[in-house]
């Protein structure tokens, strides 16, 4: 029977788990499609690139950085054509494979322009730069177009650059042209016997012999509908060279070249890129993918082109991975697979703790898998899966608490049912041991005809008092200690009563207490206690107010000699309530502050009010004023 019941319950439980999980996976996928998770994907993409193992310096590329000292030495900027011609001439002596000039040279900068034009003509391995997108900057006019590459870059919405352009159609002529960094890499690889062709897997990609450069797509990796993307552009994700010492490439200055203060092997048979490395001339590219930068989040433009060229050369010659992503269906299958894993975990594990541990382990596995795949060149989405796991953990915790609250509610209902039964039994016992016993005795006496008329009346009056007292004593017996206040003489009052009824009950009990001798001379008891909204006071507040009234009345009963009149007044005044106790007796303890007075002052402070006690020639005046809205 139990097995049959379990077989019937399991499909229902499975549906209750599976459907919400499927909805959660669908919501995560829809949120990702809107691009709302892209900024987090890019953030962790940059951090993972920073955390990769350090790489050796790429000695195939040397940067000639024109720094602040070079500008001071030359005495002018832009660098005059003659100084630039001397630098190019000096470099050519060491037979570099390619020289890249990452300086704007669209206009002559005399003196020495003719000398520079001559050097341009005599240096066939020299590559110049231009900008083809807005705002365009023309190339050096003396360089043929095949020896000019564009230096344009595309940044993401956060301003950082994570991809490089290999080629694009010029906006002015609509002719396809290559980037500055690509032409430098192409020049270097041609000597190694590599030529460029269209890709095999992607006809619009570029390949060197059999090595195909993966082309950037609009929705690759963590990107969703990437900005500034044109399908006619040939872009690729930039796998910056990670070097912990911040020396991914050798760097020399113009002074080093002119003074020949360098190792000739740093120039010979290498790519040499000339550019600005002076902070006063901000030619910067923003990136968070490189750690330990001299200028946090920034590299010089000449360094960016070195990274872009190095990536291509290292991929073709060394097999260094370039960054690429899965197909879009593959990325969403990856998310759905983890959603399926969560469903299996939820169906197979009942303990919330074990499930949360499993989700925590899964987050670590996803993060480590994504990191190691990125080292191998694969960028896969991490944020949707992590969000899926975290939201499931939160939902499971919330659901577990909801179930726990339901169970607690059921247990409380059981306890209340048991408590009700106990109350019924207690009430019956109280009636049985009281009025029913009296009635039984009375009936027995009547049957035996042993009662006189006077005794019968006396017994009936006693029975009447017993029954009437049940109205007072039974509710008090059923209250908890927090709901009652015990007066001197062990009388108990119900704090759930409205304040005016509660205070009137305290007055009645206290003035009828035979332990206070001076109440015997009272001729007048004047009560004028104004009702107030019961919601404004807590049970504890009522307890403190009762304590004040009890202490004030106790002082009258014990110390007010020859008292004949007692007045208790309660008035509401705006947000305050004023309770006054006055008598006309003679108090012999004038100007003496006892423990009772100190207790009343303390209670008044807790009520955010104040206590006053004045001994007058014709009596005593006690006053408690407290705030109703705290």
Model confidence at 310: pLDDT above 90: yes
pLDDT average, residue stretch 340-353: 85
Residue 467 domain-assigned (yes or no): no
pLDDT tens digits along 12-45: 666 777 888 888 999 999 999 999 999 999 999 9
Can you read off the two tokens belonging to residue 260? 């020949």
CA distances from 286 to 51, 162, 289, 295, 322 (A): 18, 9, 9, 10, 20
Q: For residue 237, which of 149, 332, 325 has the smallest C-alpha distance?
A: 325
Name which residue leads in pLDDT, 14 or 84: 84
Where are any strands of DSSP class E within 249-321? Answer: 251-253, 271-276, 284-286, 298-300
Q: Which pLDDT band holds residue 301 (cuts at 50, 70, 90)?
A: very high
Per-residue confidence (pLDDT) for residue 6, from 0 to 100:
44
Are residues 263 and 131 part of one domain? yes
Are residues 82 and 23 part of one domain? no
Q: For residue 181, which of 314, 317, 311 has the smallest C-alpha distance?
A: 311
Does pTM top 0.85 for this prediction? no
Question: Phi and psi for 94 in degrees, rounded to 5?
Answer: -100, 10
Q: How many CA atoms lie within 13 A of 583 on its CB side?
A: 27
Name which residue leads in pLDDT, 48 or 20: 48
Distance of CA 93 to the CA centre of its chain: 60
Domain boundary pick from 325, 347, 366? 325
Residue 613 domain-assigned (yes or no): yes
11-15, 62-66, 80-84, 608-612: least confidently modelled range: 11-15
Model confidence at 528: pLDDT above 70: yes
Per-residue confidence (pLDDT) for residue 537, from 0 to 100:
82
Can you read off the two tokens belonging to residue 294? 């001299």
Peptide bond into 78 cis (omega under 30): yes
Q: End-to-end CA distance of the chain, in Å?
A: 60
Model confidence at 403: pLDDT above 70: no
The Cα–Cα gap between 245 and 293 comes to 9
Q: For residue 27, which of 19, 38, 17, 15 has the smallest C-alpha distance?
A: 19
The Cα–Cα gap between 549 and 542 comes to 11
Are residues 192 and 58 part of one domain? yes
Domain boundary pick from 378, 403, 428? 403
pLDDT average, residue stretch 599-611: 84
Model confidence at 150: pLDDT above 90: yes
Residue 162 domain-assigned (yes or no): yes
Check residue 463 and give left, alpha or beta (phi > 0: left; psi -120 to 50: alpha). alpha
Name which residue leads in pLDDT, 124 or 481: 124
Per-residue confidence (pLDDT) for residue 477, from 0 to 100:
53
Are residues 361 and 227 part of one domain? no
Are residues 345 and 233 part of one domain? no
CA distances from 304 to 66, 67, 491, 567 (A): 15, 16, 90, 93
> 580: domain range?
480-627
pLDDT average, residue stretch 590-614: 78
The Cα–Cα gap between 526 and 510 comes to 14
Can you read off the two tokens belonging to residue 328? 């879009």
Helix H or strand E encompassing 169: strand 163-169
The C-alpha angle with vertex 494 and arms to 489 and 497, in degrees rounded to 5, equals: 140
84-93, 275-284, 358-367, 568-577: least confidently modelled range: 568-577
3-state SS assignment for residue 483: helix
CATH code of the domain containing 508: 3.30.565.10
Residue 471 domain-assigned (yes or no): no
Name which residue leads in pLDDT, 534 or 204: 204
Q: For residue 241, which of 190, 303, 158 has the smallest C-alpha distance?
A: 303
Are residues 131 and 218 part of one domain? yes
3-state SS assignment for residue 355: helix
Residue 466 domain-assigned (yes or no): no
pLDDT average, residue stretch 589-595: 60
Residue 547 domain-assigned (yes or no): yes
**How many residues comprise the chain?**
630
The Cα–Cα gap between 96 and 59 comes to 12
The set of long-range contacts for 266-270, using a CB threshold of 8 Å and a minimum separation of 24, is: 266/59, 266/62, 267/62, 267/91, 267/94, 267/95, 267/96, 268/94, 268/95, 268/96, 269/95, 269/96, 269/97, 270/59, 270/60, 270/61, 270/62, 270/96, 270/97
The Cα–Cα gap between 401 and 536 comes to 32
Which of the residue ranges 113-127, 231-245, 486-500, 553-567 has the most confident prediction, judged by mean pLDDT? 113-127
* 182 neighbors 166 (Cβ within 8 angstroms): yes
Other Cβ atoms within 10 Å of 426 Cβ, number: 13
Model confidence at 418: pLDDT above 80: no
Angle, helices 38-51 vs 383-431, to 10°: value is: 110
Are residues 249 and 174 part of one domain? yes
Are residues 332 and 296 part of one domain? no
The 8-class DSSP code of residue 312 comes to H
3-state SS assignment for residue 145: helix
Give helix then strand counts, H and E, for the chain. 16, 25
Longest dimension (CA), the chain: 150
In terms of DSSP bridges, do strands 576-583 and 619-627 run parallel, antiparallel, or are they unpaired?
Answer: antiparallel
Per-residue confidence (pLDDT) for residue 430, from 0 to 100:
55
Angle, helices 328-348 vs 352-375, to 10°: value is: 160
Per-residue confidence (pLDDT) for residue 496, from 0 to 100:
86
3-state helix, strand, coil in the chain (%, to 5): 50, 20, 35
Are residues 594 and 604 part of one domain? yes
Residue 474 domain-assigned (yes or no): no
Task: Provide the number of structural domains found in the chain.
Answer: 3
Model confidence at 115: pLDDT above 80: yes
Are residues 575 and 486 part of one domain? yes
pLDDT tens digits along 152-204: 998 999 999 999 999 999 888 889 999 999 999 999 999 999 999 999 999 99
Model confidence at 132: pLDDT above 70: yes
The Cα–Cα gap between 161 and 285 comes to 7
**What DSSP string runs through 185-213?**
HHHHHHHTT--EEE-SSSTTSEEETTEEE
The Cα–Cα gap between 581 and 550 comes to 10
Peptide bond into 242 cis (omega under 30): no
Domain boundary pick from 301, 325, 349? 325
Residue 413 domain-assigned (yes or no): no
The 8-class DSSP code of residue 231 comes to T
pLDDT tens digits along 96-106: 999 999 999 99
Are residues 209 and 313 part of one domain? yes
How large a percentage of the chain has pLDDT more than 70? 87
3-state SS assignment for residue 618: coil
Per-residue confidence (pLDDT) for residue 162, from 0 to 100:
96
Average pLDDT, the chain: 86
Name which residue leads in pLDDT, 397 or 321: 321
Q: Which pLDDT band holds residue 448 (cuts at 50, 70, 90)?
A: confident
Can you read off the two tokens belonging to residue 250? 């050798």
Peptide bond into 612 cis (omega under 30): no
Distance of CA 319 to the CA centre of its chain: 41
Strand partners, 405: none
Q: Which pLDDT band holds residue 608 (cuts at 50, 70, 90)?
A: confident
Q: For residue 102, which of 142, 134, 57, 149 has the smallest C-alpha distance?
A: 149
Q: How many CA atoms lie within 13 A of 368 on its CB side?
A: 6
Are residues 299 and 216 part of one domain? yes
């Amino acid at each position: 029977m139990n097995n049959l019941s379990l077989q019937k319950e399991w499909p229902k439980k499975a549906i209750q788990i599976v459907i919400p999980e499927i909805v959660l996976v669908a919501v995560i996928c829809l949120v990702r499609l809107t691009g709302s998770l892209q900024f987090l994907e890019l953030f962790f993409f940059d951090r993972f690139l920073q955390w990769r193992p350090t790489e050796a310096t790429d000695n195939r590329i040397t940067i000639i950085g024109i720094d602040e000292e070079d500008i001071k030495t030359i005495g002018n900027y832009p660098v005059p054509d003659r100084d630039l011609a001397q630098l190019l001439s000096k470099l050519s002596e060491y037979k570099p494979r390619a020289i890249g000039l990452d300086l704007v040279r669209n206009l002559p900068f005399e003196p020495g322009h003719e000398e520079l034009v001559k050097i341009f003509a005599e240096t066939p391995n020299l590559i110049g730069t231009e900008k083809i997108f807005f705002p365009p900057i023309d190339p050096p006019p003396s360089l043929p177009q095949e020896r000019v590459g564009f230096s344009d870059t595309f940044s993401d919405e956060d301003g950082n650059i994570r991809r490089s352009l290999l080629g694009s159609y010029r906006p002015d002529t609509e002719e396809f042209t290559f980037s500055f960094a690509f032409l430098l890499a192409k020049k270097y690889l041609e000597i190694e016997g590599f030529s460029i062709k269209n890709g095999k897997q992607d006809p619009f990609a570029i390949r060197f012999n059999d090595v195909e450069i993966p082309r950037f797509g609009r929705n690759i990796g963590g990107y969703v509908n990437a900005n500034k993307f044109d399908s006619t552009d040939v872009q690729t994700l930039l796998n910056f060279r990670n070097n912990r010492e911040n020396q991914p490439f050798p760097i020399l200055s113009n002074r080093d070249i002119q003074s020949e203060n360098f190792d000739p092997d740093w120039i010979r048979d290498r790519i040499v890129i000339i550019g600005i490395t002076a902070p006063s001339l901000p030619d910067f590219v923003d990136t968070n993918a490189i750690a330990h930068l001299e200028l946090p989040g920034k590299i010089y433009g000449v360094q960016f082109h070195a990274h872009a060229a190095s990536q291509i050369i290292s991929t073709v010659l060394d097999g260094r991975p370039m960054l690429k992503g899965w197909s879009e269906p593959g990325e969403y299958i990856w998310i759905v697979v983890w959603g399926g894993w969560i469903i299996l975990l939820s169906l197979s594990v009942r303990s919330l703790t074990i499930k949360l541990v499993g989700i925590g382990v899964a987050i670590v596995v996803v993060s480590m898998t994504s990191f190691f795949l990125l080292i191998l060149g694969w960028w896969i989405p991490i944020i949707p899966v992590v969000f899926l796991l975290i939201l499931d953990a939160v939902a499971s915790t919330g659901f577990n608490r909801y179930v726990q609250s339901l169970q607690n509610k059921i247990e409380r209902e059981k306890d209340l049912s048991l408590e009700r039964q106990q109350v019924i039994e207690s009430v019956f016992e109280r009636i049985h041991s009281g009025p029913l016993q009296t009635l039984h005795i009375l009936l027995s006496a009547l049957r035996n005809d042993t009662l006189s008329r006077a005794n019968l009346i006396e017994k009936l009056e006693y029975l009447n008092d017993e029954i009437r007292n049940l109205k007072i004593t039974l509710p008090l017996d059923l209250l908890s200690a927090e709901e009652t206040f015990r007066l001197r003489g062990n009388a108990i009052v119900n704090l759930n009563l409205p304040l005016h009824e509660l205070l009137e009950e305290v007055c009645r009990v206290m003035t009828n207490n035979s332990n206070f001798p001076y109440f015997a001379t009272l001729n007048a008891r004047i009560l004028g206690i104004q009702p107030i909204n019961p919601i404004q006071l807590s049970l504890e507040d009522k307890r403190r107010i009762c304590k004040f009234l009890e202490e004030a009345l106790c002082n009258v009963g014990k110390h007010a000699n020859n008292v004949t009149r007692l007045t208790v007044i309660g008035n509401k005044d705006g947000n305050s309530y004023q309770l006054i106790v006055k008598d006309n007796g003679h108090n012999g303890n004038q100007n003496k502050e006892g423990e009772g007075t100190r207790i009343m002052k303390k209670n008044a402070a807790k009520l955010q009010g104040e206590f006053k006690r004045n001994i007058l020639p014709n009596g005593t005046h006690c006053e408690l004023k407290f705030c109703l809205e705290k």
